[in-house]
Chain A
Amino acid sequence: MTRAPSVQEVLPPLPVVDPGATTDLIVAFIRSQMDQTGFERLVLGLSGGVDSATVAFLASRAVGGDNLMAVRMPYRSSSADSEVDALRVVEALGCRTERVEITAMVEPMLAQVPDGDGRELDVRRGNVMARQRMIVLYDRSVAFDALVAGTSNKTEALLGYGTLHGDMAAAIQPIGDLYKSQLREIAQHLGVPAEIIAKPPSADLWEGQTDEGELGRTYDALDRALFALVDRRWSVERCVAAGLERDLVEWVAARVARMEFKRQPPPVAKVSLRTPGIDHLYPRRRPGSRR
């Protein structure tokens, strides 16, 4: 009698990554972007999670701790542990840091426009918080004379698990092509504190929230499905035949399609002979674009 294959042998693989080569590439990318835009400094929101910690380590390698401003922006319900972890990163890197609590900015907005409750209010609050943090970051970027480094990863971008004009707003996206499961390896390679890598990923919008709880799937399963569907261009049927659950694959495929709007600039109604984004096409960094 043959032994039933174990789960690992059956499922489509997680995307692999070479942490050394990938880190070198991203650091060179950041330096090149600084050079091409004429900036020397970066600012980012440091939550204490693995994504922003990883970007902070990459940014610090690229521009140095003195040229990096990590802004901590807790809300009244934010976990105290998150801030402890954020400070671990600041200490490890010797970068600059500021604390701007957003509670007093978010509450009046929600109080002035009271609408919805329960889950709906949670979503509204989460969006207002994310957008308020964006306002703080862009404000601090002027004072610190810096570009805003984004901390969105590929899993989030594909699933649209982020707030448009909120946490998705940035001048550059250093980890935007790395899946969550790949990020942990990069984080380890960079020396991100183990506590940060080990804890369950969370948007920390309310107490006890975890990404995996909210998405209803593990990042491991999501990344396997995304890697198969997106990078390898497998059909849903092939993913299912390869051992992924049909519900998961169909949900992921539908979500990737539905969230396309978050990944692209909005469509422009073409009325002229030459239209930005349609037939007026230029590289973002070009002569004259450097400040």
Chain B
Amino acid sequence: MEYRIALVQLAPILGDLDANLELVTDRLGQSVAAGADLVVFPELALTGYLLQDLVPDVAMRADDPRLAALSAAAPGVLVAIGFAEETRAHRYCNSVVLLRDGELLGLHRKVYLPTYGLFDEGRFTRAGHQIRTTEVGDPLHRIGLSVCEDFWHPFLPMLQAQDGASLLVNVAAGPARAPGSAAGTAAVAGWHKMQETYALLGTVAVAFCNRVGNEEGLTFWGGSRLLGPDGSVLAEAPLYEEALLVGVLETDDLRMQRYNLPLVGDERLELVRREIDRIIAERAGVPGPIEEPHDGALGTLSSERAEREAGRA
């Protein structure tokens, strides 16, 4: 069946919650009128990006009635939106919520806060500690949420694919560098490559919603995209301009793609976990878990170890 996804590529006003709520409400109405089943807004769409010490002034709880009211205004429609969150324990996070009919279905707190180069997020917000997916019912079943930099860490989208996601939603505030030059193009190309790769290897659809506009000296580049579960680009918004992109995902494609390319089903999570456990243990300087005796066919054991294991056998 056809599933319509709206990516709202807008330019929030820095630090102005009320103005942004109004803007978002307006664009949500337009998206609903365009028949969207899911409407995605960018990272920190309600607050703007370069908040610095404004964070506590504009942060809200994930169960804030303003978020619920926004969602309730679009009955039956899923809404994903980025905002500055203050948790019950007063941790401040760069978060995205998934709502429907005023109900909070899912929440993701940005796990990887870029604090290098032009980024200083770790100075003002705290990292999330969970990588989960959200049950949304048929036909998508589960959605994996993430925020911008999270996508530069491939474990996250691959974990979400393993956790049953049919769609990965990444909300972003990507600033442009050296527009049009090889370096600038390479940054955008990096985003494109990763989206296509995650879609292909996770056999998941990918919705990437990046903001536009200017804050201080930064210009955000937009270019929001919707990709099918084979990595093909289904819809793409222009660079730098505000846009409301509506793309159609054919959910039957997901079904057949997963039969044709059963990568997710063939994944060996126990093996991956063992190796990850070993790497973590070795990094900490403690011996890894005892390995099962090697059959020697690959010849990778040291001779001393092979002798020891042969003796034990």
Contacts and interface: CB of A to CB of B under 8 A. Distances in A.
A286 B15 contact: yes
Contact of A18 (B15, B180, B217, B240): B180
A84 B53 CA distance: 49
Contact of B216 (A15, A28, A283, A287): A283
Nearest to A19: B180
Contacts of B216: 283-285
Nearest to B218: A29
Contact of A28 (B178, B180, B181, B214): B214
Interface in A1-41: 15-18, 20-22, 24-25, 28-29, 32-33, 36
Contacts of A284: 216
A285 B214 CA distance: 11
Given A29-B214, A32-B213, A33-B214, A282 B179 contact: no
A287 B15 contact: yes
Interface string B47-85: 000111110000000000000000000000000000000
Interface string B212-229: 011111010000000000
Nearest to B239: A21
Nearest to B179: A21
B277 interface: no
Prevailing SS type, chain B contact patch: loop
A25 B239 CA distance: 11
Contacts of A33: 214
Contacts of A25: 176, 179, 219, 240
A21 B239 CA distance: 10
Nearest to B57: A287
A20 B179 CA distance: 9
A111 interface: no
A29 B178 CA distance: 14
B182 interface: yes
Residue among A15, A36, A283, A286 facing the most chain B CB atoms (10 A cut-off): A286
A281 interface: yes
Interface in A24-63: 24-25, 28-29, 32-33, 36
A16 B54 contact: no
Interface in B203-243: 213-217, 219, 240
A36 B184 CA distance: 26
B16 interface: yes
B61 to A, nearest CB: 21
A212 B123 CA distance: 42
B219 A280 contact: no
A283 B15 contact: yes
A16 B16 CA distance: 37
Contact of B50 (A16, A28, A32, A283): A283
A230 B15 CA distance: 32
Contacts of B240: 24-25, 28
A286 B214 contact: no
B14 interface: yes
B116 to A, nearest CB: 13
B152 to A, nearest CB: 20
A14 to B, nearest CB: 12
A63 to B, nearest CB: 15
Contact of A283 (B54, B213, B219): B54
A24 B14 CA distance: 21
B214 A282 contact: no
B53 A281 contact: yes
Residue among B51, B52, B182, B216 facing the most chain A CB atoms (10 A cut-off): B216
Interface in B178-196: 178-182, 184
A287 B180 contact: no
Interface in B160-190: 176, 178-182, 184
A283 B215 contact: yes
Contacts of A21: 179-180, 184
B54 A286 contact: yes
B53 A282 contact: yes
Given A29-B214, A32-B213, A287-B16, A282 B180 contact: no
Contacts of B16: 287
Nearest to A284: B216
B217 A29 contact: yes
A283 B181 contact: no
A18 B181 contact: yes
A20 B240 CA distance: 13
A28 B176 CA distance: 13
B52 A282 contact: yes
A285 B12 CA distance: 13
B179 A18 contact: yes
9 contacts: A18-B180, A18-B181, A18-B184, A22-B179, A25-B240, A28-B240, A32-B213, A281-B53, A286-B54
Given A32-B214, A33-B214, 10 more contacts: A15-B181, A17-B181, A21-B180, A29-B219, A281-B53, A283-B52, A283-B215, A283-B216, A286-B54, A287-B16
Interface of B: 14-16, 50-54, 123, 176, 178-182, 184, 213-217, 219, 240
